[in-house]
Amino acid sequence: MTQATSDALRVAELLSEAEAAVVLTGAGVSVPSGIPDFRTPGKGLWEKVDPMKVAHIDVFRRDPDRFWHFYGDRFATLGDREPNPAHEIIAELEARGLIRGVITQNIDRLHRKAGSENVVEVHGSIEWSVCPDCGTRVGVERVIEKLRAGVGTPECEACITPLKPDVVLFGELLPEEAMSDAFALASEADVMVAIGSSLEVYPVASLPGVTLENGGCLALVTQGRTPYDADADVKLTGDVVDELDAVLEALDG
């Protein structure tokens, strides 16, 4: 266990006293599972490839083979990953009734695999791919099976149309129902704990502001600057697993 710092103690105190806490997570929570984030200088996924050329909805529509050449590798990588202790601690917070749920920008489904139940996936999930023509849904395991068989572009078995991952691509709007759920959680929260997110991508980046505007407070567990640093009640800047482990220790102390 990591020794709890005064800041970790403060996060534990906020969670213990909260009546409607919520967690918001970004790519940083999945980095310990071996999934690279998007924007870390020199290491982020978009440092190596222009997302507008491989992960835009227009690319999928115009050239699905090009799209899947990129996304196929990403699917295979994400499909093999397992939750790390950060995901497990967040699930434990929900199991203890300390948080109402998790709003996540991640598509890797690791929160659900770790045991979190009320998960709002505002960018969708790799759990399913969908046929744009007939609506057939294909599970991620079947899609990965097709990719590993050398299919290239996985197609709907009913109408031979290229499948689209059920995730939000560049150029697409976020799903209305998920965003409605996210804004409801944020507006009702007396504490939001934002973990592993730069809080720069809108509209999700507006959620901490929603909590603050409604009288709640904000705790940050993330490395690097965010637009909300000056507004946060407390910020933990170390390794995400170590910091959450310290918070859990403080709660158990």
* Residue 4 confidence (pLDDT): 60
- DSSP class of residue 194? E
CB distance 174 to 168 below 8 Å: yes
Mean predicted confidence (pLDDT) in 15-37: 92
Average pLDDT, the chain: 89
Q: For the stretch 64-102, what's the b/e string if a residue is b when 16 or more beta carbons lie within 10 angstroms of its beta carbon?
A: beebbeebbebbeebbeeebbbbbbbbbbbbeeebbbbb
Mean predicted confidence (pLDDT) in 241-251: 95
At 20 the three-state DSSP class reads coil
Going by pLDDT thresholds of 50, 70 and 90, the confidence category of residue 38 is: low
Which of 78-87, 91-100, 140-149 ranks highest by mean pLDDT?
91-100
pLDDT in tens, 151-188: 789 999 888 999 999 999 888 888 899 999 999 999 99
CB distance 219 to 235 below 8 Å: yes
Mean predicted confidence (pLDDT) in 54-78: 84
242, 244, 250, 253: CA torsion to nearest 10: -80
pLDDT in tens, 220-239: 999 989 999 999 999 999 99
* Residue 226 confidence (pLDDT): 94
Using only the alpha carbons of the chain, give its radius of gyration. 19
User: In this predicted structure, which of 58-72, 89-103, 185-199, 215-229 has the lowest mean pLDDT?
Assistant: 58-72
Task: Decide if 123 is catalytic.
Answer: yes
Dist CA 240 CA 253 (whole Å): 20
User: In this predicted structure, which of 18-27, 112-121, 171-180 has the lowest mean pLDDT?
Assistant: 171-180
Q: What is the pTM of this model?
A: 0.90
* Residue 221 confidence (pLDDT): 97
Going by pLDDT thresholds of 50, 70 and 90, the confidence category of residue 47 is: low
Domain ranges within the chain, ordered by starting residue: 1-35+83-123+174-253, 41-80+125-167
Going by pLDDT thresholds of 50, 70 and 90, the confidence category of residue 1 is: very low
Q: Active-site residue among 69, 87, 111, 123?
A: 123
Dist CA 118 CA 104 (whole Å): 11
- DSSP class of residue 109? -
CA angle in degrees (0–180, nearest 5) for 66-67-71: 125
Which is the CATH superfamily of the domain at 41-80+125-167? SIR2/SIRT2 'Small Domain' (3.30.1600.10)
Same fold, 1-35+83-123+174-253 and 41-80+125-167: no
> What is each CA distance from 122 to 177, 205, 206, 218, in whole angstroms?
9, 12, 13, 20
> Which CATH number applies to 1-35+83-123+174-253: 1.50.10.10, 3.30.365.10, 3.40.50.1220, 3.40.50.300?
3.40.50.1220
